[in-house]
Amino acid sequence: MAVFSDLHVGHDQFARRHFKQFIDRHKDHPYTYFIGLGDQLDCIIQSDYKRFRLSGIDSRYRDSETPDELINMQIKDLCDLLEPIRGRLLGLICGNHEDKLNEKHGINVHRLVCSALGVDNLGYSCLLLLKLANSEGPGRVRSVRIYCHHGYGGGGRTQGGAITKYSRFITEYDADVYLTAHDHDMFWKKIARVGINNSGQMVDRPVILANAGAFKKTLTDGDVPSWEETRGFPPRLLGGLVLEIEIDRHGWVDFSVIDG
């Protein structure tokens, strides 16, 4: 499962080449499915005087025939980028940027994108149930429970802040994998969970907590700073995560991050 988030399509710092490479690397694998964890669109418009900056608009938008139609261009741009994987998209999570535009201006761009692509609108958070079946013949079906949340808060400046913040989801939601975003940080941690089975034997079935990273650059190339620079956020790795889900020899589901 390939996980991406925080593209901020429409912003000049969107790492378009990195995202296309991420998609191309994984879209042809027959068993890879994708999920987006929010802030696919930047959604900062001219009336947002606190956050809008002309230099932050993607240069191809500024040079277009309709430079005022920022949101329309962002929606079309994102749909074009996701078109090659639309049949492999498990769904899209809404981020705080899309939600803020809906709150302030009544434009639900997240719903429009999901409708245009024909993919599931997963809201701001969701619980997914994946059923794994043997593609080469009959056998037992294994279930994997995934909790997704775009994330919250002002973002972290320390390496462990996001892990501490989002680890509370493990105590509140029953899942095997916990996927978050928002902080533009990339990490994954396998956390031990020990119990007993129906025979009274001790079993170890760990869970995964992972933050999906981002495809928005932290630093600008010129002398006009990015929003992240003015707030003192550290440079971040660009990219997404690929989570491998497999059945081990005991018939249990195991997880590992194979790209990120």
Which residue would you say has higher pLDDT here, 10 or 259? 10
DSSP-assigned beta bridge partners for residue 242: 2, 259
Which one is predicted more confidently, 207 or 257?
207
Mean pLDDT of 173-189: 94
Give the domain ranges of the chain. 2-143+213-259
Residue 204 makes CB contacts below 8 A (sequence gap 6+) with: 192, 193, 194
For the chain, the distance separating the N- and C-terminal CA atoms, rounded to the nearest angstrom, is 12
Q: Give the tens place of pLDDT for each residue, 104-121.
A: 999 999 999 999 999 999
Whether pLDDT at 248 is above 70: no
Closest CA to 153 of 91, 79, 231: 231
Average pLDDT, the chain: 89
pLDDT digits (tens, 9 = 90+) for 23-41: 999 999 988 999 999 999 9
Average pLDDT over residues 207-217: 94
For the full predicted model, state whether its pTM sits above 0.75.
yes
- Specify the residue for token string 């913040």: 165
pLDDT in tens, 121-163: 999 999 999 988 766 656 678 889 999 999 998 766 666 778 8
